[in-house]
Structure 1
């Protein structure tokens, strides 16, 4: 297990791991039938709008 200096590095490492494992074209019912890349885009837009 590698050590990460910041939370941002940990988030990036986690995202990269999930991105490698997930099928970007498969829709997921638990996230409103969005594809993983669509869900991530929506989540980022929602987060930016909230700030």
Structure 2
């Protein structure tokens, strides 16, 4: 989810790529944001990229 967020894709686009419901994608991204202590999915993706996780 974070890798796809990094490209600027919308939740709906990420959901289609991952074959998941948009709500599931939002939940996954929200959990990642919480765990990384950031306020947006883009910030979460950037942090994960900086750490070499994606």
TM-score by length of 2: 0.38
Larger radius of gyration: 1
Bigger helix share? 2
